[in-house]
Amino acid sequence: MRVSLNWLNEYVDVPSDLKEFCDRLDLTGTGVEGVEVLGDAFKNVVTGKIVSKKPHPDSDHMWVTTVDVGLCNLDENQKPAPLQIVCGAQNFEEGNHVVVAMIGAVLPGDFVIKKSKLRGVESCGMNCSARELGLGSDHSGIMILPDDAPIGIPFADYMKSSDTVLDLEITPNRPDCLSMVGMAREVGAMYRMPARNPLSSMKAKIDSSPKIKQANAPATVEIADANRCARYTACVIKGVKVGPSPKWLADRVIASGTRSINNIVDVTNYILYLFGQPLHSFDYDKLLSKDGVAHIIVRGARDNEKMTTLDGEDRVLSSDMTVISTPDGAVALAGVMGGMDSEVTEETTDILLEAATFNHSCTSRTSRNLGLISEASMRYERIVDDNPIADIAQAAAALIIEVAGGSLVTFDGNDIGLVDVYKEHTKPRDLTFRVKRFRSMMGEDIPQKDIEEILGLLGCEVGEGDKADILHVVAPTYRPDLEREIDLYEEVLRLFGMDKITPTLPGGRGRNASKSLRQEKLALLNDTLRASGLNETMTYSFARADDIDVLRLPKEGLGLAVELLNPLNADQGVMRQSIIPGLLRSVSYNQNRGVKNVALYEIGTVFFAHEGKKQPIERQKVAGVLAGSMHEVSWNRNDAPFDFFDGKGVLENIAREFAIPKIRFKEANGQDAPHLQPGRGAWMLSGGTVLGWVGEIHPEVAAAFDINASVVAFELDLDQLTAVSAPARPYTDVPVFPAMNMDVAFVVDEDITCEKLTQFIQSAAGKLLESVSLFDVYRDEKRLGKGKKSMAFALCYRAQDRTLTGEEVEAVHKKMIAKVCNACGGEVRA
């Protein structure tokens, strides 16, 4: 809310130190979002007097003037020095008081005043017209001030337009602060001084306003549903003259952030800003029924009922919205915006003034459903107090009559001319304040005197309860947020000062800080992936609806996609079911920017929805992508491009670190893994549990994600990994006796896998074989034959209880070779 300090000062003494005041507002809960100094536009604009006026030697319409600006311009001896100004206006004489924009002034439209020469004559400023000052449309000549206008003072001071406006963030629990009187009360409580409320004196003015008395009420009010409207008042003023507002009124509404529209609308806005009570003025004639009376009905809108609001928009309504209606149809959207058809225009002479309160939830829903937030709806949403409505309506009527003329219509039995239908009274709330409990909860012995003073200044009645340290507090009706004892604690704490509370650390018995199994595994996984050279990234949890199809990922076990009802764009229409599409986009992002080597991983949530279930299943996945190679080409290293085995190696590292038992890789095929390049993909299993997959992304899929390179990827289920992970690896004895190492190469058919051959070797060599590892694969059609390959293994023989002899090992090795050749149909390579 914009708060003019000149205006606020009428109701409370505004502290003179602006910075300290803003800090204090910030600390007590009213955020200062901006400070605007009005009148800044008139910097270097001063009042002056034409001392001389001579024709320009080289022009038949310009004048060379000398203008006295008093102390605003001084010569080297610090004496007042009049300015020479060339002027083209014809409407002035010597001795006239005028407005001078001196060098350095910036007039509206970023018009900078500089020293210049006009047809050879030096000019040190400009005598201004009203239009040049942004004060109106008059450009018939320069602005002539009254002869008693002081000379040589800032024009802003002369206009009394210098003001400071604070842009305040009012939290949603404080409807009272959306008004000048509320802010004055708040500032009073901040500085422990009283604030002044102008309501009773403004209301009293109605007694002396002109009135027209008639027999029957000019309007009737019917509230069809008390839940929608607790109180509705209407009064009619006849014979108003709609026109421009007086300057003081226009200044107030402009400072508060609204345009000055006309005297009637400006009064309703003025009252809104002053008391926080939204008003609406209708053109009375437009509401009249055939019987010459305005019959106001507050009712629910009908579904698909239509009306045009003041902003010119055609609105389609629904039954949860409230309208102000006549028997002929809706004339306003209650609490949100008036209707176009009953708007007050320049032709209007009679008005009906509405002051009411509407249900906050209804108003909020209406605004949300229509996407229409107004100064009125914002206040109704936060609850407008029904108690002072009649007084405010009368104060408003008196002010309208004061600025626009006209007479209040009174009628038999109603001397104040107010039709007031009051369905539900809000009563002040009785609360208890336990001083001892308050202190123990704050951790500070806040004096009872301070507590009572603060609550009193906020408008609470504070009395003693049963015990001296239990207070009985009556909260005012304009503070709907003060419902409970805790609400009072907050008020006292923030106004006493949070900075005065001593910081302490909780003692707290019986607590322990430990990481959960999942967090420990998560940390282990992160460490392992980083040690494997991968870089952690984060991509959107949102995905395109067709991501899984484009990726060709098998949909089994993925459920349905979680659909967003209001996505930001089509690319983010659902929640992801796999992390891979996001990572592929990152590969493309990097490659498009010339970064060829990409090694990324992400650990995050994927979402699987199911028909009939409110919430989806959320699973943690770990996924990675490798493209290019691990290192840049270096003087001592030339990495091969990433392939399947780099991905598999990462998974082997994870399997080792997670101590996953019975780990194995099963070849993926075109049916069960169409997203992978055939022959270059595998499923990772622990026993019978599938943990995930690894492989080279199918080139067509990569191309669909705008990647023009081979990409190795993997995606594992973190919950499964954690479930199969053993708590620790068991200890085995470090060997004491020496080992014997033997190498052997078998020439076998292409379809004999490394896994199969290794199994043959292990079973044939028996328990003396400690380890076997593949160290070379060799293909040569000429030497080995077509469809054949040579696989060379390093074998390590060792006994746990003795040193093996050469003969012993030779014998076992020879037997093993024979058995293996027999089993795989291969032969030993010579």
Partner 1 sequence: MSLTDELALLQTQTLGAIEASQSVAELEAVRIAVLGKQGTLTGYLRSMGQVAPEMRAEVGKTVNTVRVVIEEALASAKQTLEAKELSERMLASSVDISMPGRAQQIGTRHLINRISDEISEIFLGLGYRVAQGPEVETDYYNFTALNAPEDHPSRGMQDTFYVKDLSGDKSGVRGESDVLLRTQTSGVQVHVMEGQQPPIYIVAPGKVYRRDVADPSHLPQFTQMEGLAIDKGLTFGDLKGTLDYFCKAMFGPDRKTRFRAHYFPFTEPSAEVDVSCGICHGEGCRFCKGTGWLEILGCGMVDPNVLRMSGIDPEEYSGFAFGVGIERVACLKYNVPDLRMLLDGDMRFLRQF
> Does 638 engage in binding with partner 1 (CB under 8 A)?
no
Number of chain positions touching partner 1 (CB under 8 A): 106
| Residue 367 Cβ vs partner 1, minimum distance, rounded to whole Å | 9
> Does 710 engage in binding with partner 1 (CB under 8 A)?
no
> Does 441 engage in binding with partner 1 (CB under 8 A)?
yes
Quickly tell me which residue has 């001892």 as its tokens.
436
CB 655 within 8 A of CB 532: no
| Residue 621 Cβ vs partner 1, minimum distance, rounded to whole Å | 13
Judged by CB under 8 A, which of 205, 423, 494, 819 binds partner 1?
Answer: 494
> Does 511 engage in binding with partner 1 (CB under 8 A)?
yes
Query: Which range touches partner 1 (CB under 8 A), out of 87-95, 168-176, 206-214, 215-223?
Result: 168-176
| Residue 605 Cβ vs partner 1, minimum distance, rounded to whole Å | 6
What's the token pair of residue 19? 């910075």
> Does 538 engage in binding with partner 1 (CB under 8 A)?
yes
> Does 613 engage in binding with partner 1 (CB under 8 A)?
yes
> Does 600 engage in binding with partner 1 (CB under 8 A)?
yes
Name the residue nearer to partner 1 (CB basis): 304 or 504.
504
Q: Where are the beta strands (DSSP E) in 193-321?
A: 211-214, 219-223, 229-238, 279-283, 294-300, 306-308, 314-316
Quickly tell me which residue has 């609550």 as its tokens.
455
Judged by CB under 8 A, which of 61, 79, 117, 509 binds partner 1?
Answer: 509
> Does 214 engage in binding with partner 1 (CB under 8 A)?
no
Site for partner 1 in 290-349 (CB under 8 A): 318, 320
Judged by CB under 8 A, which of 493, 548, 701, 820 binds partner 1?
Answer: 493
> Does 498 engage in binding with partner 1 (CB under 8 A)?
yes
| Residue 620 Cβ vs partner 1, minimum distance, rounded to whole Å | 10
> Does 20 engage in binding with partner 1 (CB under 8 A)?
no
| Residue 489 Cβ vs partner 1, minimum distance, rounded to whole Å | 6
Could you give the C-alpha distances from 304 to 300, 301, 333, in angstroms and in order?
12, 8, 14
| Residue 589 Cβ vs partner 1, minimum distance, rounded to whole Å | 6
Quickly tell me which residue has 């609470």 as its tokens.
460
Name the residue nearer to partner 1 (CB basis): 635 or 731.
635
Judged by CB under 8 A, which of 9, 90, 171, 319 binds partner 1?
Answer: 171
Name the residue nearer to partner 1 (CB basis): 383 or 396.
383
CB 275 within 8 A of CB 323: no
| Residue 482 Cβ vs partner 1, minimum distance, rounded to whole Å | 11
Site for partner 1 in 347-376 (CB under 8 A): 360-361, 364-365, 368-369, 371
H or E stretch at 123: strand 121-123
Q: One symbol per residue from 518 to 537: x for binding partner 1 (CB under 8 A), - otherwise; what is it?
A: -x------x--xxxxxxxxx
Q: One symbol per residue from 550 to 579: x for binding partner 1 (CB under 8 A), - otherwise; what is it?
A: ----------x-xxxxxxx---x--x----
Alpha-carbon torsion angle 691, 694, 698, 704, nearest 10:
70
> Does 684 engage in binding with partner 1 (CB under 8 A)?
no
Judged by CB under 8 A, which of 54, 160, 484, 662 binds partner 1?
Answer: 484
* Strands 740-749 and 788-797, sheet pairing: antiparallel
What's the token pair of residue 545? 């609806």
**708 φ, ψ (degrees, to nearest 5):** -115, 55
> Does 748 engage in binding with partner 1 (CB under 8 A)?
no
Cα–Cα dist 4/35, whole Å: 10
| Residue 158 Cβ vs partner 1, minimum distance, rounded to whole Å | 31
Name the residue nearer to partner 1 (CB basis): 568 or 728.
568
Neighbours of 588 (CB within 10 A): 19
> Does 486 engage in binding with partner 1 (CB under 8 A)?
yes
Q: Residue 585's closest CA among 679, 505, 507, 702?
A: 702
Cα–Cα dist 484/237, whole Å: 42
Query: Which range touches partner 1 (CB under 8 A), out of 56-64, 282-290, 600-608, 662-670?
Result: 600-608
Cα–Cα dist 47/148, whole Å: 11
Q: What angle do CA 416, 422, 427 make, to 5 degrees?
A: 115
> Does 732 engage in binding with partner 1 (CB under 8 A)?
no
- DSSP for 79-115 reads -B-PEEEEE---S--TT-EEEEE-TT-EETTTEE---
> Does 501 engage in binding with partner 1 (CB under 8 A)?
yes
CB 165 within 8 A of CB 360: no
> Does 454 engage in binding with partner 1 (CB under 8 A)?
no
Residues 6+ apart with CB under 8 A from 587: 598, 600, 625, 627, 705, 707, 709, 711
Judged by CB under 8 A, which of 78, 304, 502, 732 binds partner 1?
Answer: 502
| Residue 159 Cβ vs partner 1, minimum distance, rounded to whole Å | 29
**703 φ, ψ (degrees, to nearest 5):** -65, -35
| Residue 372 Cβ vs partner 1, minimum distance, rounded to whole Å | 12
Judged by CB under 8 A, which of 17, 75, 147, 611 binds partner 1?
Answer: 611
Judged by CB under 8 A, which of 314, 427, 635, 781 binds partner 1?
Answer: 635
- DSSP for 276-299 reads S--EEEEEHHHHB-TTS-EEEEEE
Judged by CB under 8 A, which of 137, 304, 615, 671 binds partner 1?
Answer: 615
Residues 6+ apart with CB under 8 A from 673: 554, 681, 683, 693, 695
Name the residue nearer to partner 1 (CB basis): 33 or 207.
33
Cα–Cα dist 321/349, whole Å: 30
